[in-house]
Structure 1
Amino acid sequence: MSYPKAIGPYSAYREAGDLVFISGQLPLDPSTMEFAGEDIKSQTHQSLSNIKAILNELGLGMESVLKTTVLLSDISYFAEMNEVYATFFSAPYPARSAFAVRDLPKGAKVEIEVIAKK
């Protein structure tokens, strides 16, 4: 499983002690660098799959995630995003913030960043 490499002057992730900070992941399919789909569910699935791939590269799983920040281009996507999000995590769930923002890079519907513990 791979993940998209950074498309700007930033790192996909950084480690600090026993914490891992994963930059916001757009819903880019790493093999094409295009969106996985146009709907919020497929985009949420791809963003979280990219996060999972980064964690796997570090020998970690989704259970290592302590905090997520979800950025949505429209808050009306929240319920559908949450439906997909729930399939990636189990109790105890990570802390989470979710915001609607005016725009996301490349016109994405969602971007998700996480902090995980090694």
Structure 2
Amino acid sequence: MSNKAAINTSNAPAAIGPYSQAVKADNTVYISGQIPFIPGTMELVEGDITAQTRQVFDNLKAIAEAAGGTFKDAVKVNISLTDLNDFSAVNQVMESYFEQPYPARACVQVAALPKGVPVEIEMILVL
């Protein structure tokens, strides 16, 4: 008997590959990396890094809620940026979604991300 379950919601973009939006194992939820796609249309949200990062966090929020959690349950956030000059803007957006104590976090610059987007964020929740 497996203690893991796939989490999927139409309130976040569908997976663009062979993966689940999230997987819940016991009381831990592993949310796959989200990019700034609009649910339903699967189109890139228009705007600067701030608008795109807000869309990513909105997508993460929808998946967290589908799993029965909130950002208060987040214990780890991993951020990938194609330009570390966006670090401050991403921090400001993240701060508007989370309360202290903030989750642990990593932020790295990468050469490229799927669909040419500038930001991808994944998150782990403990419910």
Shorter-chain TM band: over 0.9
Deviation, structure 1 residue 31: 2.6
One-letter amino acid matched to 2:77: T
The answer for unaligned runs of 5 or more in structure 2 is: 1-9
* Structure number with bigger Rg: 2
User: Which residue type is aligned with residue 59 of structure 2?
Assistant: N
Number of matched pairs: 118
Name 2:69's counterpart in structure 1: 60
Deviation of residue 57 (structure 1)?
1.2
For residues 40 and 93 of structure 1, the distance between their equivalents in structure 2, rounded to whole angstroms, comes to: 21
Amino acid at match of 1:86: E
**2:124 is the counterpart of 1:115:** yes
Alignment of 1:75 onto 2:84: yes
1:39 alignment partner, one of 48, 52, 58:
48
> 1:50: which partner in 2?
59
Aligned-residue CA RMSD (Å): 1.1
Q: Relative contact order (C-alpha < 8 Å, sep 6+): which is higher?
A: 1
Moved over 3 A (4+): none
**Structure 1 length normalisation: TM-score?**
0.96
TM-score, L = length of structure 2: 0.89
Matched, 1:98 2:107: yes
